[in-house]
């Protein structure tokens, strides 16, 4: 059974930083791209960042709204994926999901950016 | 990026009614390897999205067979044959053929 467990969310002030973690199990982690998708309250799903597998040279993608502020990374030896979020803005407030190829999802972790 | 357009945005149904949701893509979702990576998700209230159908028409394990998917190229449809109360929520199509993955805007299924 695929399991994705996110951690690291919380309340942070504007311009602050947070690092989200996602522990994955139940599938061949090394073979799949991983993504972080966020959902603002009452809104739809927005891809934040994506990282491919080693086979595709760990290529990364970032939404324009987070480029140069967020960094996605992965540790295949630990089946972990991370999202380092710097210079946070109030509009980054959302529930952040870790996903495998956008088909399997964790329970999400809340990030609130407020002074 | 590929744009997925879902219609209708809201769907009102009675229990037992059959309904369909459309997902149209701005470009063909047929991958060069012959697969089409168009999937359907359901997000029930207060829950994370869950996979219903993958690769157009393949039912995820444990998903009732009243759900079915069809389509090809740029036009895809999710059908629910006999809505049940547990089916209420927001349905999303998602494509993984072209990087980056993209999502439709969602269709909210409500009880009439």
Question: B76: closest CA among B108, B37, B42?
Answer: B37
pLDDT of A26 reads 96
Q: Which residues of A touch B94 (CB under 8 A)?
A: 45, 102-103
Pick from B39, B41, B100: which is nearest to A47 by CB? B100
- Pull the structure tokens for residue B20: 């369909």
Question: A5: closest CA among A77, A96, A93, A113?
Answer: A96
A8 touches chain B (CB under 8 A): no
Averaged pLDDT of chain A: 96
Chain A: closest CA distance from residue B98 (Å): 12
pLDDT of B41 reads 98
Query: Which residue in the block uniquely carries the two structure tokens 């149904």?
Result: B13
pLDDT one-digit tens code per residue, B30-79 = 999 999 999 999 999 999 999 999 999 999 999 999 999 999 999 999 99
Helix count and strand count (H, E) for chain A: 0, 11
Q: Which residues of A touch B101 (CB under 8 A)?
A: 35, 47, 50, 101-102
Q: Which residues of A touch B9 (CB under 8 A)?
A: none
Q: How confident is the model at residue B112 (pLDDT cuts 50, 70, 90)?
A: confident
Question: B96: closest CA among B41, B15, B16, B17?
Answer: B41
pLDDT one-digit tens code per residue, B67-84 = 999 999 999 999 999 999
| pLDDT(A98) > 90 | yes
**Average pLDDT rounded to a whole number, residues A10-15:** 97
- Note if the bond before B22 is cis, omega within 30 degrees: no
Chain B: closest CA distance from residue A70 (Å): 16
What is B19-86 written as a DSSP string?
EEEEEEESS--B-TTS-B-EEEEEE-TTS--EEEEETTTEEPTT--TTEEEEEETTEEEEEESS--GG
Q: Which residues of B touch A105 (CB under 8 A)?
A: 41, 48-50
Distance CA A101, CA A24 (A): 13
Q: How far from A12 is each of A15, A107, B69, CA to CA, in Å?
A: 8, 20, 42
pLDDT one-digit tens code per residue, B96-107 = 999 899 999 999
**Average pLDDT rounded to a whole number, residues A67-89:** 98
CB contact under 8 A, B51 and A50: no
pLDDT of A102 reads 86
Please, are residues A96 and A88 in contact by the beta-carbon 8 Å criterion?
A: no
Percent of chain A with pLDDT over 90: 97
A61 touches chain B (CB under 8 A): yes
Pick from A35, A97, A103: which is nearest to B54 by CB? A103
In chain A, whose CA is at the least distance from the CA of B99?
A61
Angle at B93 between CA A75 and CA B90, to 5 degrees: 100
């Amino acid at each position: 059974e695929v399991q994705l467990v996110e951690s690291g969310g919380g309340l942070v002030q504007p311009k602050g930083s947070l690092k989200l973690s996602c522990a994955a199990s139940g599938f061949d982690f090394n073979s799949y791209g991983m993504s972080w998708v966020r959902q603002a309250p009452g809104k739809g799903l927005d891809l934040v960042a994506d990282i491919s597998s080693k086979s595709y040279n760990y290529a990364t993608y970032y939404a324009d709204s987070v480029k140069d502020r967020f960094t996605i990374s992965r540790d295949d030896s630990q089946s972990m994926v991370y999202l380092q979020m710097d210079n946070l803005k109030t509009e980054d407030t959302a529930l952040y999901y870790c996903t495998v190829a956008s088909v399997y999802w964790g329970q999400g972790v809340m990030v609130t950016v407020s002074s | 990026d590929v744009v997925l357009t879902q219609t209708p945005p809201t769907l009102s149904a009675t229990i037992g009614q059959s309904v369909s949701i459309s997902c149209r893509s701005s470009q063909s979702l047929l991958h060069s390897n012959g697969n089409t990576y168009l999937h359907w998700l359901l997000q029930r209230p207060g829950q994370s999205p869950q996979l219903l159908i993958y690769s157009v028409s393949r039912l995820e394990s444990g998903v009732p067979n009243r759900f079915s998917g069809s389509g090809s190229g740029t036009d895809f449809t999710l059908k629910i044959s006999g809505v049940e109360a547990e089916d209420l929520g927001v349905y999303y199509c998602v494509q993984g053929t072209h990087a980056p993955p993209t999502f439709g805007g969602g269709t909210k299924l409500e009880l009439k």
